Structure 1
Amino acid sequence: MASKIPDSYNFDEQFLTCPVCMLHFRDPRVLPCLHTFCRECLQEWVTKQQPLECPTCRTQVSLPDQGVDGLRTNFYVNNLLDFAAVKKVTGPGVPCQVCEGKDEGARTWCVQCAVLLCESCTNTHRRFPTLKGHQIVTQENLEASEGVPSSFQRKAFCPKHEDQVLTFYCEPCQTLVCVACTVVNHSRGDKHNPVEIGSVAERKKRDLQKLIAKVEPRETDVRDTLKEVERELSELQTSADAVIEQATAYFDQLIALLQDRKEEVVTEIVSRRQEAGKCLETQKEAIEFELAGLTSASEYCKQALGHGSDVHVIEVEGQARQRVEELMTTPSDLTARPSQVVFTEGKAVAEFRDGVARAGCVQVKVKVDTSKCTVEIKPTIVEFSNVSLLSTVDKNGQLCSVRKDDFTATLTDPSGQAVPTQLQEKGRGLWEIFYTPEVTGNHRLEVKVNGGAVAGSPFDVRVQSRDTPVLTIGREGSGEGELDGPTDVAVDMEGNIAVVEQENNQVQIFDARTGQSLRSFPVDGGRPWGIDTDSNGQFVLTGNQAIRVYSRKGKLTKTLEPDCLRDPCGVAVLQDGRMVVADHSQQSCLLLQPDGSLIRDIGKGQLQNPRYIAVDESRDLFFVTDWEAHKVFVFDLEGKLKFRFGKQGWNVGELLFPTGITVDPAGNIIVVNNWNGRLQVFGPDGTYLITVARVRGRDAQGIALTSDNHIAVACNDGHCVELYRYK
């Protein structure tokens, strides 16, 4: 069967040409990267370069122990070269290469001998026993074929038995062998299993088909991308010229503005110079006139004194006095007149210089495919700063950078009023869109990049009230993702939420972003209550007169059963491993060593029913909610009561059977009421600040602040954990 390769006259010369010597291949050898070169070219290349790199793809290659001679021969290229040579020389008048045309012209080609034969020599060739396996291709077959006939292939001979064709494949050795080898070196047994190459070749062909199926999609993508890159290269000069024109016009405009201002300033300088000159000329004329009068009077008086008689002096004194009094009565203005025109730089010149340095920004932009861009709309709460995440990608789906000025993000409320938005780059191709809606209801977010709307825009943004949980985790049950009687929550080192289930006697870990259950582990002893994590990420749990420590994977590492412990509830672990535990039966809090031994009993006689604990190590304080006193007590780690706050009531700032408590990074204290679900924030000194929400789930218990500013609340009777936005 003929291959799809066209005849020799249409062969791509580049396909048959060595990339090094630029001549037809001579003994073509294949490198591990599958590029082919002449054997001699490779040998010369090896002497010039170490480590050896492929001349075409620059991939570093390792030669076999035999060097270039150990590389595989490219039989396919050899066949094409043979076929091309034969197609060029076969035809009327071409002599036989054995008898040199003494009888008749060449009619056939011996593939193994690589010679043209006449009909007589062909018959003789076929009669030699040692040449019986050679393939003879007739001129008619060559002329009739549209491509290379499948029979037009050199037979591969055994390197150990040169007259034997390779017809077997030894599977354990992964080596082609001849019949003689199957007897001498590869006889069937434990170490050798020669099989006919036909069956092996069929399997290898299937493997090659799989490789083709694997490579072709990527090849198509690369080829298409190459065409796109070539197209963009061809357009690059045009776009660059357009940008140069744009930049030139921009700076020409700036220069024109400066030139106009320059002319205005020069004109003003000339005008001011003329005004000042006129003023000075007027002053000069007046001063010269006065000076002439003063000089004349002075000289007159001096002459009278020097040369006049007494009679003459008496006669002229009155006249001289009158003249001097006139001169002194109307003196010229000797005040300094403006004598210089000064140019002063504007105050904004320094800023202008900096601005000029930033005037215009040159970038090589990647084309954004708006159809593949995505916007992640996160749960939105009224009067809170909310964020949506925009991902900008190219046509291949890869994140790509875009200038901030290329974005527009417009949010409108239900009445059509615009809500201010801000864009902030989070990373390459990732942008955060911030907005603070003032009303609840469905809003619309329109996002455009380079003037084109991203896929799905405009987006529906549902703005919920403060009392609506951003996420509700779990429902009643004992299966995966289900909860039964949760009493406390903690945030692990990965930011996930760990939930204590009192009725299921287990801890279940949830993804804080999606609420998906990740894993769970059972708690020994039954009836667990409180949970916290230590500095190593281990889980510390209270319950049933004991403290149990579990690894991050949920394996029990130790159980502490100190005699001082009666009915432990909430627990908080310090950085050094010490623990503060609320024991409501003993109406006190216990400060314990990491091994469970008692350091001190705190709050006895002051606390009535302590429930949950929070610690602020920056101030060496811990906070405990008192269920019956409707207060929060604040102690230092030495056991001294520092202050307490709260009073019983249903109103804001009041506490009604407080349970869960935590502290934010600023030292503010977050407390939840069990009876009315009011989730409130107090300042570091206990002053009421704000109500975050009214918890919807029933019987609010332990709370925790997540890494992305949400408050997780364990709802015991609601069999769920609710997350509320904080700040």
Structure 2
Amino acid sequence: MASKIPDSHNFDEQFLTCPVCMLHFRDPRVLPCLHTFCRECLQEWATKQQPLECPTCRTQVSLPDKGVDGLRTNFYVNNLLDFAAVKKGAGPGVACQVCEGKEEGARSWCVQCAVLLCESCTNTHRRFPAMKGHQIVTQENLEASEGVPGSFQRKAFCPKHEDQVLTFYCEPCQTLVCVACTVVNHSRGDKRNPVEIGSVAERKKRDLQKLLAKVEPREKDVRDTLNEVDRESSQLPTSADAAIEQATGYFDQLIALLQDRKKEVVQEIVSRRQEVGKCLETQKEAMEFELAGLTSASEFCKQALEHGSDVHVIEVEGQARQRVDELLTTPSDLRARPSQVVFSEGTAVAEFRDGVARAGRVQVRNTGKVDVFKCSVEVKPAVVDFSNVSLLRTIDEMGRLCAVAKDDVTATLTDPSGQAVPTQLQEKGRGLWEISYSPEVTGNHGLEVKVNGGSVAGSPFEVRVQSRDTPVLTIGREGSGEGELVCPADVAVDMDGNIAVVDNGNNRVQIFDAKTGQSLRSFPVDGESPWGIDLDSNGQFIVTFDNNLFSTGNQAIRVYSREGKLTKTLKPDCLWNPCGVAVLQDGRIVVTDYTQQCCFLLQPDGSLIRDIGKGQLQHPQFIAVDKSRDMLFVTDYLAHKVFVFDLEGKLKFSFGKLGQDEGQLYHPTGITVDPAGNIVVVNERDRRLQVFGPDGTYLRTVTTVKGRCPQRIALTPDNHIAVACYMGDCVELYRYK
């Protein structure tokens, strides 16, 4: 059941009803997705499903080791159930649930015992020492209350000491305990710190208020959008019917045009048949007239030859010649005549079929609300021969992201010579599009983006394509002002995707926007020569300080809040010259110490767990952690190698040797691990940035860093490698993949 808080003046049966059994909750338990169900219902549900899915939202959930019994009880729902029962049963004539009506009717309710009490039993109840802390709510308070009284809450008792109320909270254990527990199992010490729950609850309330502040805007947006979807759903039949009507009219027009053309062609065939018939008849008459003349001349000549005398032949020969010459001088044409009417296709049936297939297009539109002038394109730095992306946001008239049909979005990239570069368009979410392309030449390219046929404001956009050896972004320059750096030693990526830089020469940490390189904020550090930096799971900055000749006694690790305030200082006795640092998911810290030629694994409070690499490392520099494999990757500056250890300190393998060929290392410094487990290493001396497989096999060289003396490196969320260039007074970003 959703954790909806009912109105203080009204709560209905739906809030108190289990969505599975449709009865009042019995021992309500809360799933990690914050939906509530009866304990028995969940146990039955769990036997039917593996893995378990929430019956309401279908989210897969992992049960605790104790199963359903290990889930938290929804005390708030229990309180409401109690209150509902009391309101229903506190009327006149209701018997006391202790003396069962031997005295007068029930007058009050014990919140902890969940029973109705008469006045006599109430007084007796209050006299028992074990029940002195129980909350008694009188009938007058119940009748006067329109909602649930703030004091109407069961007290929580310790599972180990059933007569003791939970009044303390042990923060290291994250466990509620009673007074007895603070003496027996949770006495104050290095690993135990019980504090009164009041102060912890106030802090947790503030945290919940912050969570509420984060959730409420999104909740409002989703609710507004849901209402809009409902409205659009109600309008969908109208738009679909209109589309059907338009399609029907369109194709009826095409059919009518074909029918008209059919009539025209048939009528033309009939007309041509008549014309050809007349022509053939005329030619026939001419040929019959000529044939009669030829037959007469032929017969005359034959008779003269067969029956005439010599005198007769001499006399008629001249006359016969004249007649035959006349007949043969103007003969009729025996070949050129129209004899057939045929039909030929102006457009082949196959071609017409293809044309018909393109006739009419069905689209899903956002009811035409997209505002092309409010749409925006974020052009990211591009590198030749890499897959690069720009982001398009389609915005509606209200300034909100809105969905549009893919056919309504076009993106065209042209190189400096005007040649088109193939692009791909992929929708990454409602109103968010990724335009990807792989340019083959460097220089300024033009990106034309259109939505619904209109150009997005600012289009065409300039896409500057650089060579892979050129940093796509350079952050900082020498100086002590805002955005300036002196000897940056280390970089890390914070929880917002920004780049945190250890500004060694200015004794500060400076935060930069990873997309623009703009300085966002900075904070000073307490101590000299800050060197290493990483972030814990809460977004706090963990900074190490190098104990060099000029900063004696400074071997410290300091923790700063996200706002840059110092929260604690750790000074482990084992540290002499801390350098690189990495924070594990559980808060443990790994730090290199090049003077002692090893790494130290520390508890979150700075206490030593174990040393790692003693007798194997010569000059450890920086550390990367592969959290999926629980492995540490350490660069050794003097050994020209990378050593790989597990968290128990066992050496798994090492790779690298001195040299400047592919796969060789030359004073390695910065190191990081990508999501696929590949290892990225930069050399200080020859500045090559190389990639190795999870087993240390050489894969490729990304680039040669331009800035001098590269130190720590970090991989950004958008697949760039940030390199701290110590002597270059800058941080350079290179395209990784």
TM-score scaled by structure 2? Answer: 0.50
Matches within 5 A, 1:194-593: 244-246=245-247, 249=250, 360-361=362-363, 363=365, 365-366=367-368, 368-393=370-395, 399-543=401-545, 544=547, 545-593=555-603
Structure 1 position 630 matched with structure 2 position 631: no
- Deviation of 1:659 after TM superposition, in Å, equals 0.5
**Aligned AA for 1:556?**
L
Deviation per CA, 1:310-352: give whole Å up to 9, x if none: xxxxxxxxxxxxxxxxxxxxxxxxxxxxxxxxxxxxxxxxxxx
Which AA in structure 2 matches 1:425?
A: E
Deviation digits for residues 351-401 of structure 1 (CA, Å, limit 9, x no counterpart): xxxx9xx99445463155544443222111112221112233456765543
Residue 308 of structure 1 aligns with which residue?
A: none
Matches within 5 A, 1:184-195: none
1:529 counterpart SS class:
strand
Preserved contact between residue 365 and residue 404 of structure 2 (Cα < 8 Å): no
1:527 deviation in Å? 0.7
Asked whether 1:653 is paired with 2:654, we answer: no
Are the aligned partners of 1:365 and 1:402 in contact in 2 as well (CA < 8 Å)?
no
Aligned partner of residue 407 in structure 2, secondary structure: helix
Contact kept in structure 2, 1:444 and 1:459, CA below 8 Å: yes
CA distance in 1, matches of 2:664, 2:528: 34
How far apart, in 1, do the equivalents of 2:239 and 2:569 lie?
75
Q: Who is 2:609 aligned against?
A: 599
Partner AA of 1:665 in structure 2 = P
Matching residue's letter, 1:536: N
| Pairing of 1:68-83 with structure 2 (within 5 A) | none
Secondary structure of the residue that 1:405 maps to in structure 2?
helix
Kindly tell me: are residues 657 and 241 of structure 1, through their superposed partners in 2, closer, same or farther at Cα, counting changes over 3 Å? same
Q: Which amino acid letter does the alignment assign opposite residue 608 of structure 1?
A: Q
Tell me, what secondary structure is at the counterpart of 1:693?
strand
Question: How far off is 1:412 after superposition?
Answer: 2.2
SS at match of 1:619: coil
Provide the rounded CA distance (Å) in 1 between the counterparts of 2:571 and 2:611. 16
1:75-107: CA deviation from partner (whole Å, max 9, x where unpaired): xxxxxxxxxxxxxxxxxxxxxxxxxxxxxxxxx
What is the DSSP-based 3-state SS (H/G/I as helix, E as strand, rest coil) of the residue aligned with 1:670? strand
**One-letter amino acid matched to 1:498:** A
CA separation in 1, counterparts of 2:455 and 2:517?
A: 31
Which whole-Å CA distance do the structure 2 matches of 1:248 and 1:499 have between them?
65
Partners of 2:557 and 2:464 lie apart in 1 by 44
Q: Distance in 2 between matches of 1:553 and 1:456?
A: 36
CA distance, structure 1, for counterparts of residue 452 and residue 698 of structure 2: 47
Where structure 2 has 5 or more consecutive residues not aligned to the other structure, the ranges are 1-237, 259-356, 548-554
Distance 1:644 1:242 in 2: 67
**Cα deviation digits, residues 452-489 of structure 1 (max 9, x gap):** 33333333221111122222111111111111111001
> What is the correspondence of 1:13-92 to structure 2 with a 5 Å cutoff?
none
Go from structure 1 to structure 2 and tell me whether the alpha carbon gap of 1:372 and 1:532 turns closer, same or farther (over 3 Å shift): closer
Answering whether residue 695 of structure 2 is matched by residue 689 of structure 1, we say no
State the match for 1:725 in structure 2: 735
* Aligned counterparts of 2:409 and 2:506: Cα–Cα separation in 1: 50
Distance 1:374 1:243 in 2: 34
Give the match for residue 682 of structure 2: 672
In the superposition, relative to structure 1, how do residues 247 and 441 fare at CA in structure 2: closer, same or farther (>3 Å)? farther
Cα deviation digits, residues 13-45 of structure 1 (max 9, x gap): xxxxxxxxxxxxxxxxxxxxxxxxxxxxxxxxx
Between the two proteins, the alignment pairs up a number of residues equal to 392
What is the alpha-carbon distance in structure 2 between the residues aligned to residue 243 and residue 523 of structure 1? 69
Residue 586 of structure 1 aligns to a residue whose secondary structure is coil
CA separation of 1:451/1:247 partners in 2, compared to 1, >3 Å: closer, same or farther?
A: farther
For the residue of structure 1 that corresponds to 2:628, the secondary structure is helix
The verdict on how the C-alpha distance between 1:247 and 1:440 changes in structure 2, with shifts beyond 3 A counting, is farther
Report the residue type matching 1:704 in the other structure: A
Would you say the 8 A contact 2:364–2:404 is kept in 1? no
* 8 Å Cα contact 2:723/2:732 also seen in 1: yes
User: How far off its partner does 1:247 sit?
Assistant: 5.1
Instruction: Report SS of the residue matched to 1:439.
Output: coil
Higher mean C-alpha displacement, 504-513 vs 366-375 = 366-375
Q: What is the Cα deviation at residue 447 of structure 1?
A: 2.1
- On the 8 A contact 1:366/1:401 being kept in 2, the answer is no
Structure 2: distance between partners of 1:251 and 1:607 = 83
Q: 2:652: which partner in 1?
A: 642
Q: Pick the structure with greater CA Rg.
A: 1
**CA distance in 2: counterparts of 1:379 and 1:425, whole angstroms:** 20
Give the Cα separation in 2 of the matches to 1:438 and 1:510: 30
CA distance in 1, matches of 2:664, 2:569: 38
One-letter code of the match for 1:446? E
Q: Which residue of 2 aligns with 1:18?
A: none
Q: Give, in angstroms, the shift of residue 439 of structure 1.
A: 2.2
Aligned to 1:609: 619
Deviation for aligned residue 1:584: 0.7
Contact 1:366–1:400, Cα closer than 8 Å, also in 2: no
State the one-letter code of the partner of 1:686. Answer: G
Q: Does the 8 Å CA contact 1:247/1:360 hold for their aligned counterparts? A: no
- 2:511, 2:363 → 1: CA distance? 48
How far apart in 2 are the matches of 1:494 and 1:362?
A: 35
Distance 1:703 1:595 in 2: 27
- CA separation in 1, counterparts of 2:588 and 2:400? 48
CA offsets per residue over residues 630-669 of structure 1, 9 Å max, x none?
1101011111111111122222322111101111111111
Q: Give the distance between the partners of 1:638 and 1:654, measured in 2 at CA.
A: 28
For 2:248 and 2:442, the matched residues in 1 are separated by 46
Q: Which runs of 4+ in 1 moved over 6 A?
A: 237-243, 251-254
Distance 1:540 1:707 in 2: 20
**C-alpha offsets along residues 44-89 of structure 1, whole Å, 9 cap, x if unaligned?**
xxxxxxxxxxxxxxxxxxxxxxxxxxxxxxxxxxxxxxxxxxxxxx
C-alpha deviation, 1:409, in angstroms: 1.3
Change in 2 beyond 3 A, CA 1:547/1:248: same
Letter in 1 for 2:464: R
Could you tell me how far apart the structure 1 residues matched to 2:666 and 2:369 are?
59
Deviates more, 1:622-631 or 1:445-454: 445-454
Structure-2 separation of matches of 1:706 and 1:249: 53
CA change 1:238–1:611 in 2 (3 A) is closer
The 1:676/1:238 distance shift into structure 2, 3 A limit, reads: closer
Give the equivalent residue in structure 2 for 1:312.
none
Q: Give the superposition deviation at 1:423.
A: 1.1
Q: Once the 2 structures are TM-superposed, how far is the Cα of residue 626 of structure 1 from its aligned partner?
A: 0.6
Percent identity, aligned pairs only, is: 73
1:672 is matched by which residue type in structure 2? V
1:523 Cα deviation (Å)?
A: 1.5
Residue 690 of structure 1: how far off its partner (Å): 1.8
